Amino acid sequence: MPLRKKPACVIAFSSTSAAMAAEACFQERGLPGRIIPLPREISEGCGLSWKADPKDEEALTKALDDAGIAYDRTYLVTI
């Protein structure tokens, strides 16, 4: 059975260190998602991104802002 694509919030980072810091930040706070390679549709950043459910976008970006972790921007993509 083929995998069904669904909407996802993707957060792009400009550096690998920022992506790793974000992963630690989200894990400490119990926030959902995982690191993935940056989807081809997005051509910026370091090549790493965070994928989560779109409903969690606000909590994720607030956690990054509170922790002072820079990110390029968020995207809504179907993957």
Q: Count of domains in the chain?
A: 1
Q: Does the pTM of the predicted model rise above 0.85?
A: yes
Does 12 map to a domain? Answer: yes
Alpha-carbon distance of 39 to 28, in angstroms, equals 25
Alpha helices in the chain (DSSP H): 16-29, 57-67
- For 27, the token pair is 């894990």
In this structure, what CATH number is given to the domain that contains residue 14? 3.30.70.260
| Residue % of the chain over a pLDDT of 70 | 99
Residue 3's pLDDT band, with cuts at 50, 70 and 90, is confident
Nearest-5° Cα angle at 42, 1 to 68: 110
Does 2 map to a domain? Answer: no
Number of other CB atoms surrounding residue 67 within 10 Å: 14
Q: Which domain holds residue 36?
A: 7-78
Does 1 map to a domain? Answer: no
Tell me what the pLDDT averaged over the chain comes to: 95
Does 44 map to a domain? Answer: yes
